[in-house]
A and B are shown apart, each in its own frame.
Chain A
Amino acid sequence: MVANAELFDLSIAHMDCDAFYASVEKRDDPSLADKPVIIGGGKRGVVSTACYIARIRGVRSAMPMFQALKLCPEAVIIKPRMDVYVEVSRQIRAMMEDLTPAIQPLSLDEAFMDLGGTARLHGAPPAVMLARLTKRMKSELGLTGSIGLSHNKFLAKVASDLEKPRGFSVIGKAETGAFLHDKPVRLIWGIGPSAQESLDRAGIRTFSDLLRWDRLALSGRFGSMGDRLWHLARGEDKRRVSAHEPVKSISNETTFHEDTGDPDILDGHIWRLAEKVSDRAKARGLAGRVVTLKLKRANHTTLTRRVTLREPTQIADTIYRTARAVFDQSAQQAPFRLIGTGLSDLCSASEANFSGDLLDPQAARRAQAERAADTLRGRFGASAIVKGRALR
């Protein structure tokens, strides 16, 4: 493990599972153990996770599948089994909850944890507890993760990435300046290619370049990002590990194997997506007032249409009908390669009292039927009852 003078004083951690989806697949099918495995959808899709063997060949997340296959033709491609990953993620979360209630998940396979003040409770400092966490993940779940431990979120996340896989890296306060000095600024989460470009133009490549700028000049040139950069350059990040990051929107999308303009097929997709969005809203007790339909055309241009409803909804039928009406207005732009629906302007479902629709007296009954179907699915599984529409 690591030696660091501050090792037992640091309490902000970032845990990132190693090649999460691929590791789950390898765990569940040992014959995959020494094969390159890529998780992703179809020949038109993109790589969502590549195992470390595939990564050695140059395969990366978000790479188009055909390119990945060129680099690694013998790779085993597996369609993501989201329900399994969600379940495993929940198990990991439960283990983290044994350490601290202050957990901020960033996705299924990574989360921030604040272990401040837990040393007395556990009788061991955070560093020890985190080491136990990864050990437990390995023994009970057969999965590995990398830990970054530091004095704030920014550095914890940077640290977890230093020695992947199975890493445990620590950045102490004293060494922060020296550590960052010649590191590139693209290390900062949220600095994408376009931000990188504008930083390049200002001659900023490394953290030491940033240190040469004074605070006003940075915020003058880069706005609110400038001020944040000034702090990060000094290894400062005041953001708290917040367990309750409010959800701003819920959306789902799907990319087709082949571009399609077939209204029946698209209708089926709109329904399934509406149902997924609705399921997630119901699971979280949320309702939304804005329904979004996203369409990507064959030439990759994206069309996004938003409709504001009079009252918030979480009902799949309403989301579907709204998205469908908007779709009908854009259908002549077909064929499409991707379709998505979303729900935003969210509020608690208890506020989503709805007054029925005078012109659509059946709407209330359909909503009732949907809730009845939800109850059945809750009891007998998601496929206990499906709409004919969903089978198209």
Chain B
Amino acid sequence: MKISIERGALLKAVAQAQSVVERRNTIPILANVLIEAEGDTVQFRATDLDIEVVDKAPAQVERAGATTVAATTLHEIVRKLPDGALVTLSADSAAGRLSVEAGRSSFSLATLPREDFPVMASSEYQSNFSAPAKVLRRLFDKSKFAISTEETRYYLNGVYMHVSDGDGGRVLRCVATDGHRLARIDADLPQGAEDMPGVIVPRKTVGELRKLLEDDDMAIAVSVSETKVRFATPDITLTSKVIDGTFPDYTRVIPQGNTKRLEVDASEFAQAVDRVATVSSERSRAVKLQLDEDRLILSVNAPDSGAAEEELAVAYGDERLDIGFNAKYLLEIASQVDRENAVFLFNSSGDPTLMREGNDETAVYVVMPMRV
């Protein structure tokens, strides 16, 4: 194999591949990226056995072929090469080396045979549809903060993407929860997605997917089966296993009868929470909300470090309510609000609280209060 490729194109392709590779690896080949050159394209493939990413880039292929080389090393080299450089990769399979040359720099990297590289088995997808990057970005960006890291409830370690009934008909819905907060985000159901099976997209996949969604208008081809999900742009294909488990019935968790309504400027609210939380104890991060007629007092009282209080003008017309929350949870949901005021709906100091943006029902957050 021998190819020449522009440094920028190579860096982009290798960067995507190397981020999938696990840093600590017991199987040497999994630290490698598979480089395959044919026609006028070169393809970089990396996997951690759960996720596989394939990235194509145009290249001048002098000699078709394939090899595998350490992904992080190749990435580091390309990253440090000067912008605009033309990079030549040539594999010497007899010597088991890949030479990387650009300008006056040359490197020789150890390779492993391509035959050893595990390629993810292709599967039958039950559902194939296309969605704009912007739509998917919103679905995952607004839900991913609530993904659980708890290993014992592994089925919460991802975003549950499924078809459901929303306000105005069928919707494509993403839900994530860790038991303390929950995010439920809806989007119009794309054509062809009606029969999509519900899948739990793992946290790492959500992170990798994000890199495909930078360009608002890019159409993303989505394919879903019971066990796998695939997201593809013309250049990059991300395939991932989904979490083998049942996502809990989240609908009963979303409070329906909360009537005490607080409306507040989300960023003012977030900043105030952030300020008072400065003195909260490292572990509990408890912030108390005291609600009274059009007035909200945020306070923290941590015996070991001190106390803080801040008052905000808000719209609130119900009876007096004192309720505590983990400051981190409040900040996270408040930061999801970007267009209108944040609307909180409370029931009592012991019941889950609902938050949404204005009257927008397509993004709903639930957070559990804390004893204070």
Contact = CB atoms under 8 A, between A and B. Distances in A.
Given A351-B281, A351-B283, A364-B350, A357 B371 contact: no
A326 B370 contact: no
Given A351-B283, A352-B284, A359 B152 contact: no
B368 A355 contact: yes
B113 interface: no
Interface stretch (B58-66, B178-186, B235-243): B178-186
Contacts of B156: 359
B283 A310 contact: no
A14 interface: no
Interface in A312-365: 312, 322, 325-326, 329, 347, 350-360, 364
Contacts of B16: none
Interface of A: 289, 307, 310-312, 322, 325-326, 329, 347, 350-360, 364
Given A326-B152, A364-B350, A353 B286 contact: yes
Looking at B151, B182, B324, B352, the one whose CB has the most chain A CB atoms below 10 A away is: B151
A289 B283 contact: yes
Contacts of A355: 180, 325-326, 329, 367-371
Contacts of A312: 283
Given A307-B152, A310-B150, A358 B180 contact: yes
Interface in B325-372: 325-326, 329, 350, 352, 366-372
List the 7 closest pairs (A to B, CB-CB), nearest first.
A325-B152, A355-B370, A355-B368, A357-B179, A353-B284, A358-B253, A359-B179
B32 interface: no
B352 A358 contact: yes
A347 B325 CA distance: 19
A351 B303 CA distance: 9
Given A307-B151, A311-B284, A359 B177 contact: yes
B248 interface: yes
A347 B253 contact: no
B371 A359 contact: no
If over half of A's interface residues share one DSSP class (helix, strand or loop), that class is named, otherwise mixed; here it is mixed
Interface string B239-269: 0000000001000010000000000000000
B357 to A, nearest CB: 20
A325 B153 CA distance: 9
A358 B179 contact: yes
Contacts of A351: 281, 283-284
Nearest to A309: B150
Looking at A289, A356, A359, the one whose CB has the most chain B CB atoms below 10 A away is: A359
Given A289-B283, A325-B152, A353 B179 contact: no
A329 B248 CA distance: 19
Contacts of A307: 150-152
B150 A357 contact: no
Nearest to B372: A353
Given A358-B352, A359-B253, A353 B180 contact: no
B303 to A, nearest CB: 7
Contacts of A325: 152-153
B175 to A, nearest CB: 12
Given A307-B151, A310-B180, A351-B284, A359 B248 contact: yes
B283 A350 contact: no
A358 B325 contact: no
B370 A354 contact: yes
B181 to A, nearest CB: 8
Nearest to A329: B152
Given A326-B152, A353-B371, 17 more contacts: A289-B283, A311-B284, A312-B283, A322-B152, A325-B153, A351-B284, A352-B284, A353-B324, A353-B372, A355-B325, A355-B367, A355-B370, A356-B368, A357-B368, A358-B368, A359-B177, A364-B350
Contacts of A364: 350
A270 B176 CA distance: 31
A353 B229 CA distance: 39
Contacts of B368: 355-358
Interface in B193-240: none
A327 to B, nearest CB: 10
Interface in B306-334: 324-326, 329
A182 B122 CA distance: 74
Given A310-B150, A351-B284, A353-B324, A358 B366 contact: yes
A206 B114 CA distance: 60
A326 B326 CA distance: 26
Interface string B155-185: 0100000000000000000000111111000
Contact of A358 (B151, B182, B283): B182
B151 A354 contact: no
Contacts of A326: 152
12 contacts: A307-B152, A310-B178, A312-B283, A322-B152, A350-B303, A351-B284, A353-B371, A358-B179, A358-B180, A359-B177, A359-B179, A359-B253
A354 B286 CA distance: 9
B350 A356 contact: yes
A59 B286 CA distance: 55
